[in-house]
Chains A and B, each alone.
Chain A
Amino acid sequence: GNSVTQMEGPVTLSEEAFLTINCTYTATGYPSLFWYVQYPGEGLQLLLKATKADDKGSNKGFEATYRKETTSFHLEKGSVQVSDSAVYFCALSPRNSGNTPLVFGKGTRLSVIA
Protein backbone atom coordinates (compact mmCIF):
# COMPACT_ATOMS: atom_id res chain seq x y z
CA GLY A 1 0.00 0.00 0.00
CA ASN A 2 0.87 3.68 -0.04
CA SER A 3 2.14 5.36 3.12
CA VAL A 4 4.17 8.32 4.34
CA THR A 5 6.33 8.41 7.44
CA GLN A 6 7.54 11.67 8.92
CA MET A 7 9.84 12.37 11.80
CA GLU A 8 7.93 12.91 15.00
CA GLY A 9 7.79 16.34 16.51
CA PRO A 10 7.65 18.69 18.01
CA VAL A 11 10.77 20.28 16.62
CA THR A 12 11.95 23.41 18.42
CA LEU A 13 14.61 25.60 16.84
CA SER A 14 16.10 29.00 17.41
CA GLU A 15 15.65 31.64 14.76
CA GLU A 16 18.19 31.31 11.88
CA ALA A 17 18.84 27.63 12.65
CA PHE A 18 18.94 24.99 9.91
CA LEU A 19 15.83 22.86 9.52
CA THR A 20 15.45 19.31 8.32
CA ILE A 21 12.20 17.37 8.54
CA ASN A 22 12.57 13.79 7.35
CA CYS A 23 9.96 12.14 5.15
CA THR A 24 10.04 8.67 3.62
CA TYR A 25 7.38 6.98 1.59
CA THR A 26 6.15 3.64 0.39
CA ALA A 27 4.31 3.57 -2.91
CA THR A 28 3.65 1.50 -5.97
CA GLY A 29 5.34 3.08 -8.94
CA TYR A 30 6.58 6.66 -8.88
CA PRO A 31 4.33 9.01 -6.95
CA SER A 32 4.23 12.77 -6.95
CA LEU A 33 5.44 14.15 -3.62
CA PHE A 34 4.27 17.21 -1.71
CA TRP A 35 4.92 19.26 1.37
CA TYR A 36 1.95 21.10 2.83
CA VAL A 37 2.08 23.56 5.74
CA GLN A 38 -0.67 24.27 8.25
CA TYR A 39 -0.48 27.44 10.29
CA PRO A 40 -2.39 27.61 13.59
CA GLY A 41 -6.14 27.60 13.05
CA GLU A 42 -5.89 27.35 9.27
CA GLY A 43 -6.20 24.79 6.49
CA LEU A 44 -3.38 23.31 4.44
CA GLN A 45 -1.24 25.34 2.09
CA LEU A 46 0.85 23.76 -0.62
CA LEU A 47 4.49 24.53 0.14
CA LEU A 48 6.27 22.67 -2.67
CA LYS A 49 6.07 19.58 -4.85
CA ALA A 50 8.11 17.29 -7.04
CA THR A 51 6.73 14.95 -9.67
CA LYS A 52 9.67 12.76 -10.66
CA ALA A 53 12.96 11.40 -9.35
CA ASP A 54 15.73 13.97 -8.70
CA ASP A 55 13.28 16.87 -9.03
CA LYS A 56 13.81 19.59 -6.44
CA GLY A 57 10.80 21.51 -5.21
CA SER A 58 11.43 24.90 -3.64
CA ASN A 59 9.44 27.79 -2.22
CA LYS A 60 9.96 30.51 0.40
CA GLY A 61 13.45 29.23 1.18
CA PHE A 62 12.26 25.64 1.70
CA GLU A 63 13.60 22.84 -0.50
CA ALA A 64 13.01 19.13 -0.90
CA THR A 65 14.52 16.69 -3.38
CA TYR A 66 12.73 13.59 -4.66
CA ARG A 67 15.12 10.70 -3.93
CA LYS A 68 13.91 7.49 -5.54
CA GLU A 69 16.83 5.40 -4.30
CA THR A 70 16.08 6.19 -0.67
CA THR A 71 12.31 6.79 -1.16
CA SER A 72 12.69 10.09 0.63
CA PHE A 73 11.57 13.71 0.31
CA HIS A 74 13.18 15.53 3.22
CA LEU A 75 12.25 19.17 3.80
CA GLU A 76 15.09 21.65 4.45
CA LYS A 77 15.50 25.34 5.11
CA GLY A 78 18.76 27.07 5.73
CA SER A 79 17.57 29.71 8.18
CA VAL A 80 14.19 29.45 9.87
CA GLN A 81 12.13 32.37 11.10
CA VAL A 82 9.56 32.65 13.86
CA SER A 83 6.89 32.93 11.15
CA ASP A 84 7.77 29.40 9.97
CA SER A 85 6.21 27.97 13.12
CA ALA A 86 3.52 25.59 11.85
CA VAL A 87 2.74 21.94 11.24
CA TYR A 88 4.34 20.45 8.13
CA PHE A 89 2.81 17.51 6.27
CA CYS A 90 4.51 15.31 3.73
CA ALA A 91 2.12 13.71 1.22
CA LEU A 92 2.13 11.57 -1.90
CA SER A 93 -0.15 11.16 -4.87
CA PRO A 94 0.30 7.83 -6.61
CA ARG A 95 0.80 7.85 -10.34
CA ASN A 96 -1.41 6.03 -12.79
CA SER A 97 -3.70 5.26 -9.93
CA GLY A 98 -6.98 6.64 -11.10
CA ASN A 99 -8.84 7.71 -8.02
CA THR A 100 -6.29 7.05 -5.28
CA PRO A 101 -6.22 10.06 -2.99
CA LEU A 102 -3.46 12.11 -1.40
CA VAL A 103 -1.83 10.13 1.39
CA PHE A 104 -0.48 12.22 4.24
CA GLY A 105 2.01 11.69 6.99
CA LYS A 106 1.00 12.53 10.54
CA GLY A 107 2.63 15.93 10.44
CA THR A 108 5.60 17.51 12.21
CA ARG A 109 5.06 20.52 14.44
CA LEU A 110 7.82 23.14 14.19
CA SER A 111 8.27 25.87 16.76
CA VAL A 112 10.82 28.59 16.09
CA ILE A 113 11.82 30.79 19.01
CA ALA A 114 13.42 34.21 18.77
Chain B
Amino acid sequence: ETGVTQSPTHLIKTRGQQVTLRCSSQSGHNTVSWYQQALGQGPQFIFQYYREEENGRGNFPPRFSGLQFPNYSSELNVNALELDDSALYLCASSLEGTLKETQYFGPGTRLLVL
Protein backbone atom coordinates (compact mmCIF):
# COMPACT_ATOMS: atom_id res chain seq x y z
CA GLU B 1 0.00 0.00 0.00
CA THR B 2 1.35 3.40 -1.00
CA GLY B 3 -1.07 5.58 0.95
CA VAL B 4 -2.34 7.15 -2.27
CA THR B 5 -6.10 6.78 -2.63
CA GLN B 6 -8.35 7.46 -5.59
CA SER B 7 -12.09 7.69 -6.05
CA PRO B 8 -14.22 6.40 -7.53
CA THR B 9 -12.76 3.01 -8.46
CA HIS B 10 -14.96 2.62 -11.52
CA LEU B 11 -17.09 4.99 -13.53
CA ILE B 12 -19.28 4.77 -16.61
CA LYS B 13 -20.12 7.91 -18.59
CA THR B 14 -21.54 8.69 -22.00
CA ARG B 15 -19.91 10.69 -24.76
CA GLY B 16 -20.09 14.44 -24.21
CA GLN B 17 -20.46 14.22 -20.43
CA GLN B 18 -18.02 15.60 -17.88
CA VAL B 19 -16.21 13.64 -15.16
CA THR B 20 -14.24 14.46 -12.01
CA LEU B 21 -11.74 12.04 -10.53
CA ARG B 22 -10.18 12.48 -7.10
CA CYS B 23 -6.85 11.65 -5.52
CA SER B 24 -5.45 11.90 -2.02
CA SER B 25 -1.68 11.95 -1.89
CA GLN B 26 0.58 10.06 0.46
CA SER B 27 1.18 11.79 3.77
CA GLY B 28 4.00 14.31 3.47
CA HIS B 29 3.88 14.47 -0.32
CA ASN B 30 3.18 17.84 -1.90
CA THR B 31 3.08 16.87 -5.57
CA VAL B 32 0.47 14.97 -7.54
CA SER B 33 0.81 13.71 -11.11
CA TRP B 34 -1.93 12.24 -13.27
CA TYR B 35 -1.47 9.57 -15.92
CA GLN B 36 -3.79 7.93 -18.44
CA GLN B 37 -3.28 4.24 -19.11
CA ALA B 38 -5.13 2.91 -22.12
CA LEU B 39 -5.75 -0.82 -22.33
CA GLY B 40 -2.54 -2.71 -23.07
CA GLN B 41 -0.38 0.43 -22.94
CA GLY B 42 1.95 2.12 -20.52
CA PRO B 43 0.80 5.17 -18.59
CA GLN B 44 0.93 8.52 -20.38
CA PHE B 45 1.54 11.73 -18.42
CA ILE B 46 -1.34 14.18 -18.30
CA PHE B 47 -0.12 16.86 -15.89
CA GLN B 48 1.40 17.52 -12.50
CA TYR B 49 0.42 19.81 -9.64
CA TYR B 50 2.82 21.21 -7.10
CA ARG B 51 1.67 23.46 -4.29
CA GLU B 52 -1.66 24.07 -6.02
CA GLU B 53 -0.12 25.14 -9.35
CA GLU B 54 0.17 23.18 -12.60
CA ASN B 55 3.82 22.22 -12.86
CA GLY B 56 4.04 20.43 -16.18
CA ARG B 57 1.69 19.08 -18.80
CA GLY B 58 1.74 16.26 -21.32
CA ASN B 59 0.20 16.12 -24.76
CA PHE B 60 -3.43 16.26 -23.71
CA PRO B 61 -6.07 18.77 -24.86
CA PRO B 62 -7.36 21.59 -22.62
CA ARG B 63 -10.55 19.68 -21.84
CA PHE B 64 -8.32 17.77 -19.40
CA SER B 65 -7.91 20.06 -16.41
CA GLY B 66 -7.01 19.72 -12.78
CA LEU B 67 -6.84 21.22 -9.35
CA GLN B 68 -4.78 20.75 -6.25
CA PHE B 69 -6.06 21.73 -2.83
CA PRO B 70 -4.19 23.08 0.21
CA ASN B 71 -4.10 19.58 1.72
CA TYR B 72 -2.37 18.44 -1.53
CA SER B 73 -5.28 16.29 -2.68
CA SER B 74 -6.13 16.70 -6.34
CA GLU B 75 -8.86 16.45 -8.94
CA LEU B 76 -8.75 15.58 -12.61
CA ASN B 77 -11.62 16.96 -14.68
CA VAL B 78 -12.39 15.86 -18.21
CA ASN B 79 -14.99 17.74 -20.24
CA ALA B 80 -16.76 16.66 -23.43
CA LEU B 81 -15.84 13.01 -22.96
CA GLU B 82 -14.86 11.01 -26.01
CA LEU B 83 -14.84 7.25 -26.49
CA ASP B 84 -11.02 7.27 -26.53
CA ASP B 85 -11.00 8.69 -23.01
CA SER B 86 -11.87 5.21 -21.76
CA ALA B 87 -8.85 4.21 -19.72
CA LEU B 88 -7.39 3.67 -16.27
CA TYR B 89 -6.53 7.02 -14.71
CA LEU B 90 -3.66 6.87 -12.28
CA CYS B 91 -2.65 9.40 -9.70
CA ALA B 92 0.89 9.45 -8.31
CA SER B 93 2.24 11.47 -5.42
CA SER B 94 5.79 12.51 -4.71
CA LEU B 95 7.77 14.95 -2.64
CA GLU B 96 8.72 18.28 -4.21
CA GLY B 97 7.97 19.41 -7.70
CA THR B 98 10.85 18.32 -9.86
CA LEU B 99 9.45 15.03 -11.20
CA LYS B 100 12.85 13.53 -10.43
CA GLU B 101 11.62 12.10 -7.18
CA THR B 102 10.09 8.64 -6.90
CA GLN B 103 6.40 8.66 -7.67
CA TYR B 104 3.99 6.42 -5.74
CA PHE B 105 0.81 5.40 -7.49
CA GLY B 106 -2.74 4.95 -6.35
CA PRO B 107 -4.96 2.05 -7.49
CA GLY B 108 -6.51 4.07 -10.28
CA THR B 109 -9.98 4.94 -11.52
CA ARG B 110 -11.26 2.94 -14.45
CA LEU B 111 -13.37 5.12 -16.74
CA LEU B 112 -15.58 3.71 -19.46
CA VAL B 113 -17.10 6.12 -21.97
CA LEU B 114 -20.03 4.78 -23.97
Contacts and interface: CB of A to CB of B under 8 A. Distances in A.
Contact of B99 (A45, A93, A104, A107): A93
A42 B107 contact: yes
A91 B100 CA distance: 12
Given A44-B43, A89-B42, A107-B41, A102 B56 contact: no
A106 interface: yes
A20 interface: no
Interface in B15-43: 33, 35, 40-43
Interface of B (DSSP majority class): loop
Contacts of B105: 36, 43-46
Given A44-B90, A45-B2, A93-B99, A101 B104 contact: no
Contacts of A36: 105
Interface residues of B, number: 29
Interface string A81-114: 0000000010101110111111111110000000
B43 A102 contact: yes
* Interface range for A: 20 to 34
A58 interface: no
Nearest to B1: A45
Question: Considering the complex of A and B, which 6 residue pairs feature the smallest CB-CB distances, nearest first?
Answer: A99-B56, A104-B42, A101-B45, A44-B105, A43-B107, A43-B108
Given A94-B100, A105-B42, 14 more contacts: A43-B90, A43-B108, A45-B2, A46-B102, A49-B102, A91-B42, A93-B100, A95-B100, A100-B56, A101-B33, A101-B99, A102-B43, A102-B103, A106-B42
